[in-house]
Structure 1
Amino acid sequence: MVSGTSTKRSNARGARRAVAAPELSRESLIDHALDLADREGLDAVAIRRIATDFGVTPMALYWHVKNKDELLDAMGDRIFQSLSIPPAGADWLDQVRAALVSLVDVLRRHPGSVDLAMARVLLSPEGQLLAERTLGALRGAGFSVRQAADLARQALFTAVMLVQGRPGAEIDTHEDERAAKTAAKTAAIAGLSTAQFPNLVDCAEALTNCDDEDAYYGGGIDLYVAGVEELHRKAAR
């Protein structure tokens, strides 16, 4: 009797999983992997784990990707597919700003997979076009090949740093634990001696939480663009 009840419960759970599992395709596989990385960190992206989420065997995934490396590459490419490419011919500094804004926007959507952007930006069609436009704007403003390449690379570094370093992001932590981890950091800083660390204590909340993401990202973008503009001004002098 107990065995029969257990079997019924197991069948019911299996049926619920079958209903809840999304339909497996290459597109849904990539989307699910990106979502998983955002929720639990990039280390959580594993073939066996994803197969379980879809209610299939790991071998079923290999019809859509050859291996995990191909899946990670596809995730990086997917991030850049929604890039907004600034039009050529605009003011060069506006074009550089627009490129960085676009980079930040797409990386913000999938913070858990930001590391993949570094490897795929020059290998994805959209990333290649954005790089071409940005390099053209910088070289057209008078920067040398080396200077333009360095500034374009630093734009990507800036975007990655802003997303990974956003206060409270904790992108390498499971979503259920992020709030507690952030709260612990805030409490540790706020609990320091006010006599020795008055500024750290005053800034504890601001250093560990982001109450205005648009202002945070906008400030970082402004800082990079101001630096590029100053370099151009110095070269002109």
Structure 2
Amino acid sequence: MAQQTGTTGRTPLNRDRVLGAAVALADGIGIEALSMRRLAQELGVVPMALYKHVANKDQLLDGMLDLIVGAIVPPAPGTDWRSAVRQRVLAARSALLGHPWAAQVLQSRARPTPAVLAHTDAVIGIFRSGGFSVDLTHHVMHALGSRLLGFTQELFDDSAGPATPPALPPAALRELAARYPYVAELAAGATHDQGSVVGRGCDDQFEFEFALDLLLDGFDRLHRQGWTSGG
């Protein structure tokens, strides 16, 4: 049966439908396997039909990212600045965790997309409306870094490694513990979470919120002190 050029059944093809289908497809097959041709097959159209709505693969990825980031739920009006930032950051984390490929695409963009800029602007606005100076807000945003969109870039990210660490004989473990006692101590006392990207044995969500709360506490202290970078 010949493919349709702009519709599947009676549903017209439009930009929102293309982006929604691309997000669903990437969730299912992974971002590396996503292509314009594969997306066209999914929609039941010829590939050229897609180019009426997205100019190329990069524009498709930008649009997919904006679809996700644009759905971040904002805090209720009147929420104090600390709670508002915390809620918005955790809402961003929830949105990106629902699409495992989103952080990778976000990091690959040469410049922020409109929805990412809007999210960033909203967070800056929360600090400024909360009485933070432009100077302090500038440094606060640097400190938040990738946490602004709900993820962290860890020093030792072993998420691409094997699912479980290789077994070591007891003698080797004792030797490692003797050489690196504090590393061994922390590893032995960590909370179990096999899916962690922070490090095996760590609870990602707890560690993320722990660091976020420390930062917010620090921001609050500096704000109350009237801190400036020139001081």
Does residue 1:195 correspond to 2:186, yes or no? no
Q: Does the C-alpha gap of structure 1 residues 46 and 222 become closer, same or farther in structure 2, counting only changes over 3 Å?
A: same
Q: How far does residue 93 in structure 1 lie from its aligned partner after superposition?
A: 0.8
Give the TM-score normalised by structure 1: 0.65
Does residue 1:138 correspond to 2:124, yes or no? no
Does residue 1:186 correspond to 2:177, yes or no? no
CA contact (8 A) 2:89 2:150 kept: no
Letter in 2 for 1:77: D
**Corresponding residue of 2:54:** 65
**Corresponding residue of 2:181:** none
Q: Matched residues in 1 for 2:72 and 2:117: separation?
A: 8
CA contact (8 A) 1:191 1:201 kept: no
**Corresponding residue of 1:74:** 63
Does residue 1:35 correspond to 2:13, yes or no? no
Does residue 1:123 correspond to 2:101, yes or no? no
CA contact (8 A) 1:186 1:205 kept: no
1:151-170: CA deviations, max 9, x gaps? 335546025573777xx996
**Corresponding residue of 2:42:** 53
Does residue 1:85 correspond to 2:74, yes or no? yes
Q: Matched residues in 2 for 1:68 and 1:25: separation?
A: 16
Q: How far does residue 202 in structure 1 lie from its aligned partner after superposition?
A: 4.4
Give the TM-score normalised by structure 2: 0.66
Cα RMSD between the aligned structures? 4.0
**Corresponding residue of 1:223:** 211
Structure 1 unaligned runs (5+)?
A: 1-10, 15-19, 171-180
1:25-75: CA deviations, max 9, x gaps? 433321232233334432322112222333432112223222212211210
Q: How far does residue 76 in structure 1 lie from its aligned partner after superposition?
A: 1.3
Q: Matched residues in 1 for 2:30 and 2:164: separation?
A: 22
Q: How does 1:157-176 map to 2 (within 5 A)?
A: 157-158=146-147, 162=151
1:193-213: CA deviations, max 9, x gaps? 321345387479946424xxx
Q: Does the C-alpha gap of structure 1 residues 164 and 229 become closer, same or farther in structure 2, counting only changes over 3 Å?
A: closer
Q: How far does residue 79 in structure 1 lie from its aligned partner after superposition?
A: 0.5
Q: Does the C-alpha gap of structure 1 residues 60 and 132 become closer, same or farther in structure 2, counting only changes over 3 Å?
A: closer
SS at structure 2 position matched to 1:220:
helix
Q: Matched residues in 1 for 2:190 and 2:223: separation?
A: 40
Does residue 1:209 correspond to 2:188, yes or no? no
Q: Matched residues in 1 for 2:210 and 2:104: separation?
A: 23
SS at structure 2 position matched to 1:103:
helix
CA contact (8 A) 1:80 1:106 kept: yes
Greater CA drift, 136-145 or 74-83 = 136-145
Q: Matched residues in 2 for 1:25 and 1:185: separation?
A: 41
**Corresponding residue of 2:180:** none
Structure 2 unaligned runs (5+)?
A: 3-7, 178-183, 197-202, 226-231
Q: Matched residues in 2 for 1:161 and 1:85: separation?
A: 14
SS at structure 1 position matched to 2:73:
coil
CA contact (8 A) 1:107 1:163 kept: no
Count of residue pairs brought into register by the alignment: 201
Letter in 1 for 2:45: V
**Corresponding residue of 2:200:** none
CA contact (8 A) 2:25 2:34 kept: yes
Q: Does the C-alpha gap of structure 1 residues 191 and 162 become closer, same or farther in structure 2, counting only changes over 3 Å?
A: farther
Greater helix content:
1
